[in-house]
Chain A
Amino acid sequence: EVQLVESGGGLVKPGGSLRLSCAASGFSFSSYTMYWVRQAPGKGLEWVSYISSSSSYIYYADSVKGRFTISRDNVKKSLYLQMNSLRAEDTAVYYCARDALEGDYDLQSDGMDVWGQGTTVTVSS
């Protein structure tokens, strides 16, 4: 079964750090672009970051650029999001997602076809 499972969410104080993980199974993880997408309470989906299959291409939303770092370990079949200098507005459910297009591309996509169930990050004092 193709599956993504996020972990690492929790309560953190403003200015703190957190590292999210996403464990992949049931598919050739090293062949797919991966994403982080978030949804703040009562808000819509927000694209956060993108990493190509070989880690050659990496992009961030302006709202997190310079504070968040996306990475992946293709041997461990895992995706990560290191979040530093956290703010209240980073409070959200964070989803990892897979691109439907297999291969190493720069911004080519067939949409995000596999999603995890999400992990909740709360930034509050």
Chain B
Amino acid sequence: EIVLTQSPGTLSLSPGERATLSCRASQSVSSDLAWYQHKPGQAPRLLVYGASSRATGIPDRFSGSGSGTDFTLTISRLEAEDFAVYYCQQYGSSPNTFGQGTKLEI
């Protein structure tokens, strides 16, 4: 099973700042990686797939990069609605796995 390790566990920033979230895989997943945003009481929201492709309707302040074992989600200018938990997920092999999440807080 591929283990995804996200860092940091919690990121404290202010609106307007830049956020950089990391996801490291225990073995190569090529570009088979997605990022999700999850807010309490809501369904998760797909942000990025294929490591760097933005999902439909996602603002361009969200960008993904990386391949192999090291991936990054960058939010260029934080807005109030961006404060949530973010998960990476690999889908290149079974079982698919999620990282443990990064909480982005004000």
A residues with CB within 8 A of B: 37, 44-47, 50, 59-62, 95, 97, 100, 107, 109-113, 115-118
7 residue pairs A–B, Cβ–Cβ below 8 Å: A44-B99, A46-B98, A47-B98, A50-B94, A107-B92, A111-B34, A111-B48
Q: A44-B100, A100-B49 are in contact. Are A111 and B91 (CB under 8 A)?
A: yes
> Which residues of chain A come closer than 8 Å to B48, judged between CB atoms?
111
A1 CA to B78 CA, complexed, in Å? 29
B interface secondary structure, majority: loop
Q: Cβ of B89 < 8 Å from any Cβ of A?
A: yes
A107 CA to B55 CA, complexed, in Å? 18
A63 CA to B46 CA, complexed, in Å? 24
Segment with Cβ contacts to A, from B12-20, B36-44, B67-75: B36-44
Question: How many residues of B sit at the interface, in one of the four size bands?
Answer: 20 to 34
Min Cβ gap A4→B in Å is: 9
Task: Beyond A50-B94, A107-B91, A107-B92, list 11 extra A-B contacts (CB 8 Å).
Answer: A45-B87, A45-B101, A47-B95, A50-B96, A62-B1, A100-B46, A111-B48, A111-B50, A111-B55, A111-B89, A113-B56
> Which residues of chain B come closer than 8 Å to A45, judged between CB atoms?
36, 38, 44, 87, 89, 98, 101
Min Cβ gap A24→B in Å is: 14
> Which residues of chain A come closer than 8 Å to B49, judged between CB atoms?
100, 109-111
A22 CA to B5 CA, complexed, in Å? 30
A110 CA to B50 CA, complexed, in Å? 7
Contact B46 A112, beta carbon cutoff 8 Å = yes
A55 CA to B19 CA, complexed, in Å? 40
> Which residues of chain B come closer than 8 Å to A97, judged between CB atoms?
44
* Shortest Cβ distance from A65 into B: residue: B95
Q: A62-B1, A111-B49 are in contact. Are A100 and B89 (CB under 8 A)?
A: no
Contact B55 A113, beta carbon cutoff 8 Å = yes
Contact A47 B56, beta carbon cutoff 8 Å = no
Min Cβ gap B34→A in Å is: 4
Min Cβ gap B46→A in Å is: 5
Contact A111 B46, beta carbon cutoff 8 Å = yes
> Which residues of chain B come closer than 8 Å to A107, judged between CB atoms?
91-94, 96
